[in-house]
Amino acid sequence: MHRAREHAATQTRERRHRLAHEAARLMVEGGIQDFHQAKRKAAIRLGIHDDASLPRNAEIEQALREHQRLFAGSAQSDALRQRREAALHALEFLQSFAPRLVGPVLEGTADAHSPVQLHLHEDDPDAVQRFLDEHGIPAEARSRRLRWDRERVLDAPLWVFSADGVVFELLVLPCHALRQAPLSAVDEKPMRRASLARLRELLQDTAPAPGDTQG
């Protein structure tokens, strides 16, 4: 009986590993941004349907980093730096809303499909729309559900637009969210965020060495 349980547990771990890497491949090659969608599609592709074999989002993110390191090469690093530089300009432009960079562009897993995700902090959500209108930036209004903690959720306004081939997602949160970040969908911990000053440091730390060429 003990050996049978060990064998079943080993099979489940192997299926989780396979699903995580297939989901990561789908995210890279298919431009899928949502972890849940990627893992469900991977499960259908591999014919694995038991919930115990579904990997956690953090496992998929780790598989995504491995896939990018092995197969993406300079293309991913170039796309990441392009988006971080675009995020820098956006943080400067939106300084009045205490903006913070979040998501794959900050975490280092962004590629050519990834949007620049920013949190803006403003108790009057219409102020962001007025600001965009005043600067002639056409943006699509959406919403996104976030979790503050284990019990509380928030449906926050989201503004989406493109500039120079990069998609920007501006999520408008109340000002008190500066003190407590929403929970990450990856690990269910408070989201990592970067201010303008922090992003400048990050770009400086990851700048190509003199003489390096970008492929």
Coil, helix or strand at residue 183:
strand
pLDDT band at 211 (very low <50, low <70, confident <90, very high): low
**What's the mean pLDDT in 118-123?**
98
Give the Cα separation of 142 and 3 in Å (integer): 52
Instruction: Tell me what pLDDT residue 2 has.
Output: 64
Percent of the chain with pLDDT over 70: 92
Token code pair at residue 84: 């971080």
More confident residue, 149 or 213: 149
Average pLDDT, the chain: 89
**What's the mean pLDDT in 64-92?**
89
Give the Cα separation of 103 and 109 in Å (integer): 9
**What's the mean pLDDT in 67-88?**
88
Instruction: Tell me what pLDDT residue 214 has.
Output: 40
Please state at what angle helix 2-30 crosses helix 35-46, rounded to 10 degrees. 120
More confident residue, 116 or 113: 116
Instruction: Tell me what pLDDT residue 215 has.
Output: 33
Instruction: Tell me what pLDDT residue 83 has.
Output: 97
For 27, residues 6+ apart whose C-beta sits below 8 A from its C-beta are: 33, 35, 38, 60, 64
Question: Is 48 a residue whose pLDDT tops 80?
Answer: yes
Percent of the chain with pLDDT over 90: 53
